[in-house]
Structure 1
Amino acid sequence: MSSSQTAAPGGRSPFFDFSNMKGDLFGGLTAGIVALPLALAFGEASGAGPIAGLWGAIFVGFFAALFGGTGSQVSGPTGPMVVVFAGLYAALGGSPTLVFAAVVLAGVIQIGFGVLKFGQYVKLVPYPVISGFMSGIGVIIIALQLSRLFGHEPEGGGTIPAFTAVPGAVMDPNLIAVGIAAMTLFIVFTWPKKFAAFVPGPLAALVIGTLVSLFIPGAPVLGDIPTGLPEFVLPSFNTGTALIVLEAAFILAVLGSIDSLLTSLVADNMTRTRHHSDKELIGQGIGNTIAGMFGAIPGAGATMRTVINVRSGGRTRISGMTHAFVLLAIVLSLGPLASQIPHAVLAGILVKVGFDTIDMSYIKRAHKGPRWDLALMVLVLGLTVFVDLITAVAVGVVLAALAFIKKLADDQIASVQHEAPPQSSEEEVTLLSRCGGRVMLFDFGGPLSFGAAADLGHHVRSRAGGKVEIIVLDFARVPFIDVSAVRAVETIIEDAHDAGKDVYFTGMSEEVEAVLHRFAADAVPGSEDKRFGERRDALNAALTRLDKKPDPVPAA
């Protein structure tokens, strides 16, 4: 894949493209302003504190833009990453050395994904699975904020404790917090688009909610926020926590990679460019590795911030780096003001984020598509909310793959049941008719999957009974063959030989022939008069052979 940067003379892309400087600076400034309330909210929701969210947006945003492969992408903390990180933070008791060891390791794994060119495989996750876990993450984000809307903190981590804490919060509300939360929700859900070009809705809610809290105190606020540069965190873990750290790191790496590459596709569609998947993974990995070393929460490509950046004129890596510098200037100067932000404001902003994360566009149209896709999406959503992300994605991918293989196998079995394959020419149909049912042609119709292999021999055997004397196996549309399919072909040949029938091969590529000879050398005939380039030739040879033989005598 080519980089999204403008090509320089000689065919190479410049590392920095200054041709769109004004658009990049304005796009980065706008994205940075939008990222401020989200970074604070994600940091607070993660358990590591709002300042960790800001530094996450700075480190991941800067280094992912500097070394990544999507010019207009803006990176930082995202809902999916925060959900996993918050669970890890709770599971490890908030121990910085353990928690951020997982973040560093996740970054290293992402770099490994990029170096090993896994970018193309990350994008193979089926859409219903992606829709299911993204919608599930949206539900989790909303669930974790429900108690905060009423001025309370959810008890314990996870979705179920968050839901069970809601009745108590509703029965004992902090009315000032409820009022501020209601105002925040109203602003973020109804903020006019014509104003959003100048002041984004989340930023307006943050400022207005904080000002109201200053004049009408009583709602819980963030409190003291550290200012200045972050301290270095030395990652470490022991044998007792290694499994938790490794599992969380892998989930963060996979989730961050999927999230980032999906956002890259959105950026491609908007800018008419093409991102470099593996380079993007390396950039994201570097950003998360450095973020973990300084106690910042992990991040990924952020769709909303990327869209805002592009719409504001951002096109190159300079825009993403500018977004990080804007946040750096804010965090070094406005820390004391941020301490007055109410929890209810950030909770309201995150409820909107959670709502936007839910794939409403697919949910509204899901009933029009295949029922299996809808069932798969609902299953993955449920597993994401009530079990964990890695289980949800793993189960979803496995079930989707099995369903695809089953459909492919059914189509392949159906193709061998045709008396004359649909692609047969008039000449081939005539030749088959002249053979009088004594020749049976089997067109495999595509790659022989292991899903079809189990039933293939049975279906050929059932069709090739009676007076059939010659079986023609057409491999013209079989580009490759695995061991399961080899065993099925071997069974077909052996059954034919036992029944006194001849087997002709046609259209077999060198690769398929080599595999058959390696694994089924004894069964595959070696004589050239039974291997043909086209099935027309095989049918002509079969007809010639039958003409030299007397018709079979009917049984008495």
Structure 2
Amino acid sequence: MKWSGRYKGYHAGSLRKDLISGCIVGIVAIPLGMAFAIASGVKPEYGLYTTIVAGILISLLGGSRFQIGGPTGAFIPILLAIVMQYGYENLLIAGFLAGIMLLLMGLLKLGTLIKFIPRPVTIGFTAGIAVTIFSGQIAGFLGLRDMERHEYFFENMKEIVLRLPSLNLFSILTACICLAALLLTPKWLPKVPGSLVGILVSTLVALWLFPGKVATIGSAYGAIPGGFPGLHPVSLTWDRIGTMLQPALIIALLGSIESLLSAVVADGMTGTRHNSNRELVGQGIANIVTPFFGGIPATGAIARTATNIKNGAVSPVSGVIHGVVVLLVVILFAPYASTIPLASMAPILMMVAWNMSERKAFAKLLKTRTSDTVILLVTFLLTVFTTLTTAVEVGLVLAVLLFIKRMSDMLSVDKVLPDRSNLREKVAPHVVAKDHDCPQVSIFTIDGPLFFGASQTFANLASIMENGSDLKAVILRMSKVPFMDTTGEAHFLALVKRLHGIGANVIISGIRPQPQRLLMKTGGLTIIGEQHFFEHTGEALNYALHTLNGEKCRGCRHFAFRECNVFSELDYVAQPGSQPSPRVRSGSQPV
């Protein structure tokens, strides 16, 4: 996507549409920015600063013309864990490092690799994050006092139970009013942001009917400063950088997934195509700059991006306007935000958790009862009960291991013979029988990739060596082997050498380009012998029949091949190694 393409045909009417959508999304982003910041364990203004700085930069530099960036619910568990373990200042360092990682991912064109993260892993940790966010708002909803935040789910639930005697009925009433507004506004006023209505109504009710009875942003975090976001120094030292590398990697991974998923949603809604690598570059630059204004990590926000599109956005200008609107609100109305009850924030985040829970996809995967179900449940449970870092790492490792297992199960090795009931005499496994199997020539069909996870399947070929003294040729049909790695090649050549050791020729038919190139590089082609490679099984069989021990053929009644009728009746001089000279078949050849 070229720069000109993002603004092609842009005119005054387009600007008007972007102004409308940008203002609406900006209004939606204000309560969400504060709520996400509070839930992440930092002051609400830092969420607003993130919305302003990151939102503008992601729209200007990203790869999707409709993307709205800022703080998101997906980051809450990981950011809260970092703040609790390392502190706010180190969170800024982690966000800065994550930005560098995202920038490098985009420059190295790794954007397309994100799609290879298994869906059960993404659904599992997304659902786990939703449970974590929802459960984290129970205390705010009930107005519990003296709550201590803990890193793990069980400890937080225990804390809620211990603090239940301190519940505040006024907080519950405030939260219920906000929740009612969130549920009813889309039905009655579909074009008005429900979160804004909920906060305004519940705040006014709390101020007029029971002032001073509920905790507010101001009482908990102090007044929100107005004016432009000031520069915030970030203390970068090698010790701190080394400590925050792992958290930064998780932020970068989660941010890349979230932003590209959001861009894909935007593509589906508009019929456009985003540039995934450029999107990562934009996300990276935004996260590098934002910490220097005190902002927390940001990514593409699916709900706000969808709102942007639904309200008529045409270009990235709407995303810039959304950031400017938030900035103007901070400058003009910051003191009033301090009166917002914390209980009003809880229903908003609960609704965010419910909407991001992927409950339908989760239930669908559960019903499949496959290995993907195991990955889903493990990732989900680890996200809820341990940390997101552990969940993603274990989920990915488990997905890789189960994938290797599935791929290894796909590899099959079947002994075959020509089926003379078939007009083309195609080879088939069912033809092989105890009384119908050539003692001197064995044909095997190998089906599947020969890689490190499937290398042990060569053990199935051990049976061909039980009567090794009679075996003269082994034909390996490899037209169904799409890939071979060095481990598979090592096991393959070990089998070849073992067969050579008992005096059997190894003949290859139908080998595909990649395995052939690898054998050429490793010297396997020379070990097998280039003269032993054929395009068709029939050609390979004709060659193999020339290697037969004629003495062994005389009197044989297996009749595995058409030529056996002639070989079994020939008279041989009793000389070791005497061989018949069968004519090359003029008829059809097995394939």
Match of 1:221 in 2: 216
Give the corresponding residue for 1:112. 104
State which of 484, 491, 502 in structure 2 corresponds to 1:499: 502
Distance 1:143 1:192, change over 3 A: same
User: Would you say the 8 A contact 1:82–1:298 is kept in 2?
Assistant: no
Question: Does the aligned pair in 2 maintain the 1:106–1:288 contact within 8 Å?
Answer: yes
Cα distance in 1 between the residues matched to 2:452 and 2:138: 48
Q: Is the 8 A contact 1:516 1:524 kept in 2?
A: no
User: Are the structure 2 counterparts of residues 482 and 229 from structure 1 closer, same or farther at C-alpha, using a change threshold of 3 Å?
Assistant: same
1:117-140 CA distance string (max 9 Å, x none): 121222211011001111111111
- The aligned runs of 1:44-83 (5 Å cut-off) are 44-83=38-77
What is the CA-CA distance between 1:436 and the residue it aligns to? 4.9
Q: Within 2, Cα distance between the matches of 1:172 and 1:50?
A: 24
2:78: which partner in 1? Answer: 84
Is the alpha carbon distance of 1:436 and 1:501 closer, same or farther for their aligned partners in structure 2, counting shifts above 3 Å?
same
AA partner of residue 343 (structure 2): A
Distance in 2, Cα, partners of 1:404 & 1:159:
30
Q: 1:474 aligns with which of 455, 474, 477?
A: 477
Letter in 2 for 1:459: N
Query: Which of 156, 159, 164 is the equivalent residue of 2:158?
Result: 164
Q: Paired residue for 1:282?
A: 281
In 2: Cα distance, 1:71 partner to 1:547 partner: 74
- Match 1:132 to one of 124, 146, 151: 124
322-331 vs 514-523, greater mean Cα deviation: 514-523
Contact 2:416-2:427 within 8 A present in 1 as well: no
Counterpart CA distance in 2 for 1:265 and 1:310 is: 13
What SS does structure 2 have at the residue aligned with 1:334? helix
Partner residue in 2 for 1:34? 28
Quote the RMSD (CA, aligned, Å).
2.8
Q: 1:53 deviation in Å?
A: 0.6
- Structure 2: distance between partners of 1:322 and 1:421: 73
Q: Distance in 1 between matches of 2:422 and 2:244?
A: 61
Greater C-alpha Rg? 2
Stretch moving more, 20-29 or 540-549: 540-549
Alignment of 1:37-436 (within 5 A): 37-94=31-88, 96=89, 98-152=90-144, 154-160=147-153, 161-188=155-182, 190-195=183-188, 197-215=190-208, 216-217=210-211, 218-223=213-218, 224-238=223-237, 241-412=240-411, 415-417=412-414, 419=416, 427-429=424-426, 436=437
- Give the 3-state SS of the residue equivalent to 1:416 in structure 2: strand
Task: State the Cα distance separating 1:238 from its structure 2 match.
Answer: 4.3
Quick one: which amino acid aligns to residue 135 of structure 1? A
Distance 2:369 2:108 in 1: 35
Partner of 1:487: 490
Which structure ranks higher in relative contact order (CA pairs < 8 Å, sequence separation ≥ 6)?
A: 1
What's the secondary structure of 1:162's corresponding residue?
helix
Query: Aligned to 2:274, what secondary structure does the other structure show?
Result: coil
Task: Give the drift of 1:142.
Answer: 1.5
| Whole-angstrom CA distance in 2 between matches of 1:125 and 1:264 | 16
CA shift digits 1:289-339 (9 cap, x unpaired): 111110011111111111111222224222222221221221111111111
Note the residue ranges of structure 1 that are not aligned, 5 or more in a row: none
1:468-498: CA deviation from partner (whole Å, max 9, x where unpaired) = 5422223334344211101111122122222
Q: CA separation of 1:199/1:74 partners in 2, compared to 1, >3 Å: closer, same or farther? A: same
Moved more, 471-480 or 250-259: 471-480
Q: Deviations over 1:202-256 (max 9, x none)?
A: 1111111111111122100011111111221221244654443222222111111
Q: Structure 1 residues 482, 552: closer, same or farther in 2, change over 3 A?
A: farther
What's the CA shift string for 1:319-366, capped at 9, x where partnerless? 222221221221111111111100011112111112222220123223
Take 2:525 and 2:533, find their aligned partners in 1: how far apart are those partners?
16
Query: Whole-Å Cα distance in 1 between the matches of residues 193 and 180 of structure 2?
Result: 14
Query: Conserved in 2, the CA contact under 8 Å of 1:184 and 1:209?
Result: yes
In structure 2, C-alpha distance between the alignment counterparts of 1:398 and 1:17, rounded to whole Å: 47
Cα deviation for residue 280 of structure 1 reads 0.4
In 1, Cα distance between the equivalents of 2:242 and 2:55?
29
Q: 1:524 to 1:251 in 2, by over 3 A?
A: same
The match for 1:534 is: 536
Cα deviation per residue 1:37-90 (whole Å; 9 max; x = unaligned)? Answer: 111101222222111111111111111111111111111111122322222122
User: CA 1:318–1:464 in structure 2 vs 1: closer, same or farther (change >3 Å)?
Assistant: farther
After superposing the two structures, state which structure 1 stretch, 220-229 or 464-473, moved more.
464-473
Question: Hey, what's the Cα distance between the residues in 1 that align with 2:465 and 2:424?
Answer: 22
**What is the aligned counterpart of 1:447 among 446, 449, 474?**
449
The total of aligned residue pairs comes to: 539
CA distance in 2, matches of 1:478, 1:403: 21
Q: Which whole-Å CA distance do the structure 2 matches of 1:416 and 1:68 have between them?
A: 50
Paired AA for residue 47 in structure 2: G
Distance 1:170 1:114, change over 3 A: same
1:546/1:78 Cα in 2 relative to 1: closer, same or farther (>3 Å)? same
The structural deviation recorded for 1:523 is: 7.2
Measured in 2, the distance between the counterparts of 1:421 and 1:428 equals 5
- Cα distance change, pair 351–436 in 1 and its aligned pair in 2 (3 A): same
- Asked if the contact 1:62–1:320 (Cα under 8 Å) also holds between the matched residues in 2, the reply is yes
Q: Which residue number in structure 1 is paired with residue 463 of structure 2?
A: 462
Change (3 A) 1:420 1:339: farther
Q: Aligned pair in 2 of structure 1 residues 354, 174: CA closer, same or farther (>3 Å)?
A: same
> For 2:134 and 2:261, how far apart are their aligned partners in 1?
22
User: What is the alpha-carbon distance in structure 1 between the residues aligned to residue 542 and residue 54 of structure 2?
Assistant: 67
Instruction: Check the 8 A contact 1:147/1:162 in 2, yes or no.
Output: no
Tell me, yes or no, if the aligned pair for 2:446 and 2:478 is still in contact at 8 Å: yes
The percentage of counterpart residues that share the same residue type is 32
What is the TM-score when the length of structure 2 is the normalising length?
Answer: 0.84
Amino acid in structure 2 at the alignment position of 1:461: A
- Structure 2 distance, partners of 1:441, 1:222, is 78
Q: 1:396-433 CA distances to partner (integer Å, 9 max, x unpaired)?
A: 11111111111111111xx31363699x9853526997
Q: In structure 2, the residue corresponding to 1:447 is in which secondary structure?
A: coil
d(CA) in 1 for partners of 2:214, 2:187: 31
User: 1:450-479: per-residue Cα shift (whole Å, max 9, x none)?
Assistant: 1111232x1122256546542222333434
CA contact under 8 A between 1:490 and 1:520: conserved in structure 2?
A: no
CA shift in 2, pair 1:436/1:545, >3 Å = farther
In structure 2, the CA distance between the partners of 1:229 and 1:431, relative to structure 1 (3 Å rule), is: closer
Aligned residue type for 2:84: A
d(CA) in 1 for partners of 2:428, 2:354: 63
Q: TM-score, normalised by structure 1?
A: 0.89
